[in-house]
Amino acid sequence: MARKFASVLGLGLVTAWLVGCEAPPQDGAGTQDAGSGRHSAEVFFNTTSFSLAGAGGHAFSADTGQLLISSDETGVFNAYRLDPETGTREALTQSTDNAVFAVSWFPADGRALVTMDEGGNELNHVYVRELDGTLTDLTPGENVKASFSGWSADGAQFWITTNERDPAAFDLYVYDADDYERALVFENADALAPAAISPDGRWLALERPRTSADSDILLVDLSSEDRTPRLITAHEGNIAYGVYTFTPDSEALVYATDEHGEWNQAWRYDIETGEQAPLIEAEWDVMYVAYSPSGRYRVSALNADGFTDVSILDEETGGELLLPASVPAGDLASVRFNPAETQVAFLVTSSTAPANVHWVDLRSGEHRQLTEALNPALDPEDLVEAQVVRFESFDGLEIPGILYRPHGASADNPVPALVLVHGGPGGQSRAGYSAMIQHLVNNGYAVYAANNRGSSGYGKTFFHMDDRRHGEEDLRDIVAAGDYLRAQDWVRDDAVGVIGGSYGGYITAAALAFHPEAFDVGINIFGVTNWVRTLQSIPPWWEAFREALYDEMGDPATDEERHRAISPLFHAQNIVKPLLVVQGANDPRVLQVESDELVEAVRANGVPVEYVIFPDEGHGFLRRENRITASNAYVAFLDRYLRGDAPEAAAE
Ligand SMILES: CSCC[C@H](NC=O)C(=O)N[C@@H](Cc1ccccc1)C(=O)O
């Protein structure tokens, strides 16, 4: 699939990137140019994040019809049951530190599968939440990373992948639903990436990325003695293949291919005959394809200019499943059917509405919104809508992005602004709700989430434009995005900063180091600062993607010179603008030392540098208190050094 390493760095995760150091102005304090009120980070982050279990599992409980969801209403993610009749929810787990995410109900009773790592170290284990509330760890072991892979059609067994045999390879085990006895069903000797299991348990689909432009799919027949993966995408040249799902009858694999043009299309591979046929062709990437339990409904989504365009096809009528008019406008997500396919649950979200859980009875058309995610202290009028805005970059290439313009920003009242850079390489800033962005905008900062060349979602030509050129044209696009903002009469041309997380943090630090006059401040959120070390120390469980990552970014064994040339750490003497660095101590992808060393080096320049470390977070911040601290730190830093609220502090 033409995605660089399973992009996780859209705005969803950006929302979680927050760090900080001191208290911000509280409600009513400070000034807001327009809009109905300026709010503290607490107000924005006291929205609740809801998500539905059940991708490959069961979101509806077979015995009670209750929904399995994750929520961070206590400040820490936990699993809950949500009653569609009453909208009441009950906590199934009570974690006060590590985030717990709901995975699936057991098909025949009230047990649930959940997953949790330790402090953001990404070593997730799979647990059973037993009927008495205790947790049984199905995948114990200090350095074990495991994930749920699906249920057998009869509900008697489920599959889990774990890297306990070899930290670099995920083997597949089948577990008995009654006593959790397990058996190895596939030893992953070549460290391929397990992607899907057919509902009848016979077929395992694996992905083998060679480069970000060229990947394959292999199938294993788990009913056969010979479990050698069989290549089903033999091809010449560069084609990116990826797995969406198996059909519910286990007869076909639905897969992504970019062979036929710019976009990822969905195709159907008939396992018995090997015949292939297009399923969904569009002028945007197909994001996913999924089915209701019997296969009557096919759910698919397009990544339409940063918005998620979901279709639910009723294969019985051949028409689109129309949801009641009372379902609010916004992007649908996580569409889940009950086993009888008489009810459907889903999330609805938009840039001005955090995701809420909705439920519809397909027979009566009755619709209920089951959650209220937005903090009631927030007036929706205080929020700003995402706008897709394109600009011409330094070489004439059109760059798309998502703009958030503060209420009241005008030529008479120009505002400071930030270019926000997503992670990756190859991620995309998308138009979803972000408490972090809304908090910044509410405090008078315009935010432009620019999708520099190399971003996903705009076709494969655009996607590959940054290959082995990182820190060059993609960075110049971000500099050009700053110029674009400065040219707007409603933006202060003396107050444009850059902010980003991970790869976006790299671009942020690189902008300050290689284009020292381009931005007035930078906020680097767990950004890569030293590619030599980062690429040498990637987590062992990235083995399936290592070759493709090294192909795209360069191999640290042979490309050290280039890696040094593009790494901000080795050019830190050029950084002369105020810098805020934020880091999770347990981050397994961008190690804390990356931030420690940049902070030390830039401080030696006598430049204002603020540094915040979260001891209990990894690559993305999950605890509400940390998100609030982070967001407060961003605004306090920007008030001081970008808006210029306290010039004496800037002179320190
Ligand atoms: C399995 S490939 C790793 C790249 C991955 N991309 C998207 O999720 C990722 O975690 N990228 C980081 C930056 C990074 C890139 C390469 C090595 C370490 C970190 C990110 O932007 O989140």
Q: Are residues 472 and 500 in the same domain?
A: yes
d(CA 333, CA 488): 34
* Ligand 1 centroid, distance to 291 Cα (angstroms): 30
Residue 61 lies in a domain: yes
d(CA 522, CA 541): 32
- CATH code assigned at 573: 3.40.50.1820
- pLDDT for 645 equals 79
Q: Phi/psi of residue 132, each to 5°?
A: -85, 5
For the segment 601-627, the average pLDDT, to the nearest whole number, is 98
* DSSP string covering 496-553: EEEEEETHHHHHHHHHHHHSTTT-S-EEEES----HHHHHHS--GGGHHHHHHHHHHH
Among 15, 18, 20, smallest CA distance to 48 is for 15
Instruction: Reply yes or no on whether the pLDDT at 276 is more than 70.
Output: yes
Burial letters 575-589, b for 16+ CB under 10 A, else e: bebbbbbbbbbbbbb
pLDDT digits (tens, 9 = 90+) for 6-21: 222 222 222 233 222 2
Residue 122 lies in a domain: yes
Q: CB under 8 Å to 477, separation ≥6 — which residues?
A: 393, 394, 397, 399, 450, 452, 453
- pLDDT for 175 equals 98
- pLDDT for 38 equals 85
Q: Is 526 in the pocket of ligand 1 (CB under 6 A)?
A: no
CB atoms within 10 A of CB 623: 23
Q: How many domains does the chain have?
A: 2
Q: Is 589 in the pocket of ligand 1 (CB under 6 A)?
A: yes
Q: Are residues 471 and 619 in the same domain?
A: yes
- pLDDT for 15 equals 29
Q: Are residues 19 and 163 in the same domain?
A: no
Q: Is 9 in the pocket of ligand 1 (CB under 6 A)?
A: yes
Residue to substitute in 590, 593, 619, 621 for testing ligand 1 pocket (most ligand atoms within 8 angstroms of CB): 590
- CATH code assigned at 96: 2.120.10.30
Q: Atom 3 (ligand 1): residue with closest C-alpha?
A: 5
Residue 355 lies in a domain: no
Q: Are residues 519 and 563 in the same domain?
A: yes
Q: Are residues 87 and 111 in the same domain?
A: yes
Q: Predicted confidence band at 265 (pLDDT cuts at 50, 70, 90)? A: very high
Residue 321 lies in a domain: no
CB atoms within 10 A of CB 467: 17
Share of residues in the chain with pLDDT > 70 (%): 93
- pLDDT for 101 equals 98
Q: Atom 2 (ligand 1): residue with closest C-alpha?
A: 5
d(CA 575, CA 555): 27
Q: Are residues 493 and 629 in the same domain?
A: yes
* Ligand 1 centroid, distance to 532 Cα (angstroms): 14
For the segment 127-153, the average pLDDT, to the nearest whole number, is 97
Task: Give the predicted TM-score (pTM) of the model.
Answer: 0.94
* Ligand 1 centroid, distance to 602 Cα (angstroms): 24
Residue 5 lies in a domain: no
Among 294, 239, 249, 246, smallest CA distance to 269 is for 246
Q: Atom 13 (ligand 1): residue with closest C-alpha?
A: 503
Q: Are residues 66 and 179 in the same domain?
A: yes
d(CA 212, CA 4): 5
pLDDT digits (tens, 9 = 90+) for 72-107: 999 999 999 999 999 999 999 999 999 999 999 999
- Strand residue runs (E) in 385-445: 387-392, 398-404, 415-421
Calculate the CA 528 to chain-centre distance. Answer: 18
Instruction: Reply yes or no on whether the pLDDT at 32 is more than 60.
Output: no
* Ligand 1 centroid, distance to 550 Cα (angstroms): 11
Q: Is 105 in the pocket of ligand 1 (CB under 6 A)?
A: no
- pLDDT for 54 equals 81
Q: Are residues 477 and 494 in the same domain?
A: yes
Among 351, 514, 505, 306, smallest CA distance to 419 is for 505
Q: Is 471 in the pocket of ligand 1 (CB under 6 A)?
A: no
Domain containing residue 102:
49-191
Q: Are residues 177 and 105 in the same domain?
A: yes
- pLDDT for 2 equals 34
Q: Are residues 120 and 185 in the same domain?
A: yes
Residue 163 lies in a domain: yes
Q: Write down how long the chain is.
A: 652
For the segment 156-167, the average pLDDT, to the nearest whole number, is 98
Is 557 in a helix, a strand, or coil? coil
Q: Round the CA-based radius of gyration of the chain to a whole number and report it.
A: 24
- pLDDT for 36 equals 54
For the segment 351-367, the average pLDDT, to the nearest whole number, is 97
d(CA 79, CA 113): 9
Name which of 20-29, 154-163, 430-439 the model is least confident about: 20-29
Domain boundary among 134, 159, 191: 191
d(CA 404, CA 386): 5
Token representation of residue 18? 């927050």
Hey, which residues does 203 pair with through a beta bridge?
221
Task: Output 166-175 pairs: Cβ under 8 A, ≥24 positions apart.
Answer: 166/191, 167/143, 167/540, 167/541, 168/540, 168/541, 168/543, 169/543, 169/544, 170/145, 170/194, 170/541, 170/544, 172/197, 172/204, 174/201, 175/138
Q: Are residues 560 and 579 in the same domain?
A: yes
Calculate the CA 275 to chain-centre distance. Answer: 34
Residue 307 lies in a domain: no
Q: Are residues 100 and 36 in the same domain?
A: no
Instruction: Reply yes or no on whether the pLDDT at 520 is more than 80.
Output: yes
- pLDDT for 646 equals 57
d(CA 286, CA 311): 11
For the segment 137-156, the average pLDDT, to the nearest whole number, is 96
Q: What is the DSSP letter of 288?
A: E
Among 225, 175, 178, smallest CA distance to 197 is for 175
d(CA 80, CA 50): 10
Which ligand 1 atom sits closest to the C-alpha of 535?
17
User: Which strands, in side-by-side order, build the sheet including 353-361?
Assistant: 331-337, 343-350, 353-361, 367-369
Residue to substitute in 9, 506, 587 for testing ligand 1 pocket (most ligand atoms within 8 angstroms of CB): 9
Q: Residue 24: enclosing H or E segment and its boundaries?
A: none
Residue to substitute in 502, 538, 552 for testing ligand 1 pocket (most ligand atoms within 8 angstroms of CB): 502
Q: Is 502 in the pocket of ligand 1 (CB under 6 A)?
A: yes
Share of residues in the chain with pLDDT > 90 (%): 92
For the segment 276-297, the average pLDDT, to the nearest whole number, is 97
Q: What is the mean pLDDT of the chain?
A: 93
